[in-house]
Amino acid sequence: MSEEGSSDVRVRVAAALRGVAAALLELVYPPRCAACGGAVVAEPFCSVCGEAVDPVPEGCRRCGLPGPDPLCGACRADPPAFDAVRAGGLFGGPLADAIHALKYGGRPALARPLGAWLARAAPLPPGALVVSVPLARARRIARGYDQAALLADALARAAGARGRRLPGALRRTRETPPQVGRTRAERSRNVAGAFHAARPGALAGRDVVLVDDVVTTGATADAAARALKDAGARSVVVLALARAE
C-alpha cells in the first residue's frame, strides 16, 4: 500500500473510533438539558426550559435592540458596520444559563446542540460565509476553547454549510479587557480597531454571517463587522444565541 493510501486508512480508522467513542459516551452520559441538566428528548433544552426561552421582541432593524423604534437612536446617530442582528432568543432564564455553562462552566460540548438550535432559530442566508468573533487570546488560553468558533462550526454543520465556514477569518490586532460592566461608549472605545481580516481574499464581495454567543450593545460585533467590510464583505449579519436588552 502506498504511504498516502495507508494514511488515508489511518484517518478513516481514527474517524470510526471517534464515532464509537461518541456513541459510548452517549450511553454513559445521556443528553442533558443545557440549562437545568434534566433529561432531554432533543437537545439543547428540556421541554420546560425550551418553553421558557423568550423570543427576541420587535426592535431596531439594524442592531436588534428591543423597542418601538424601527431604527434606534444609537443606530441613527452612528450606524454600525453590520447590517442586522439575529438571535435565537432574548438573554435571560434558561438561555442565559446555557450560555453561562458554555462559556464559564467548561462545557464546550454544549456548542454543538446550541449551534444546531441557532441554525433552526435563525436560518443562514443562502451562500453566506460563516465567521466567528475571535475570543481574546488570554481568555482562550484560560478557557481552553473559543466558544464562538465552536458555535460557528456547529451552526455551519447543522445548516449543511461546512464548506462555507471560514475559520480564522478574523484576528485580534490587540488584546481588549472584557466588555462586561462598561457603558456603550466605553465598549466602543475598548474594541475600536481590535480586529482585522486575516483572509481578505476570501471575503471580497461575499455575504457574511458573524457568529457570537451574546450581543449586548453590539460594540464588539460592530468592530468585527468593520474589519470584514474593510476586507470587502458585501453584507454582515450578526448571528448570536442571545440578544441582551
**Interface residue list for Zn ion (CB under 5 A):** 33, 35-36, 38, 46, 49, 60, 62-63, 65, 72, 75
Cβ of residue 136: shortest distance to Zn ion, in angstroms?
25
The 3-state secondary structure of 61-118 reads: CCCCCECCCCCCHHHHHCCCCCCEEEEEEECCHHHHHHHHHHHHCCCHHHHHHHHHHH
Cβ of residue 71: shortest distance to Zn ion, in angstroms?
6
Helices 219-230 and 184-191 pack at an angle, to 10 degrees, of 40
Which of residues 45 and 135 has its CB atom nearest to Zn ion in the complex? 45
Residues 233/169, Cβ–Cβ less than 8 Å: no
Which of residues 169 and 215 has its CB atom nearest to Zn ion in the complex? 215
Which grid cell is 53?
Answer: 426561552
Cβ of residue 34: shortest distance to Zn ion, in angstroms?
8
Which of residues 12 and 76 has its CB atom nearest to Zn ion in the complex? 76
Residues 149/168, Cβ–Cβ less than 8 Å: no
Which of residues 146 and 222 has its CB atom nearest to Zn ion in the complex? 222
Which of residues 62 and 206 has its CB atom nearest to Zn ion in the complex? 62
Going from the C-alpha of 207 to that of each of 38, 85, 128, 233, the distances in angstroms are: 38, 14, 5, 6
Cβ of residue 180: shortest distance to Zn ion, in angstroms?
21
Which of residues 49 and 239 has its CB atom nearest to Zn ion in the complex? 49
* Nearest residue to 187 (alpha-carbon basis) of 213, 216, 211: 216
Cβ of residue 158: shortest distance to Zn ion, in angstroms?
20
* Nearest residue to 128 (alpha-carbon basis) of 80, 83, 173: 83
Instruction: Give the span between the Cα atoms of 41 and 14, in whole angstroms.
Output: 29
Cβ of residue 64: shortest distance to Zn ion, in angstroms?
7
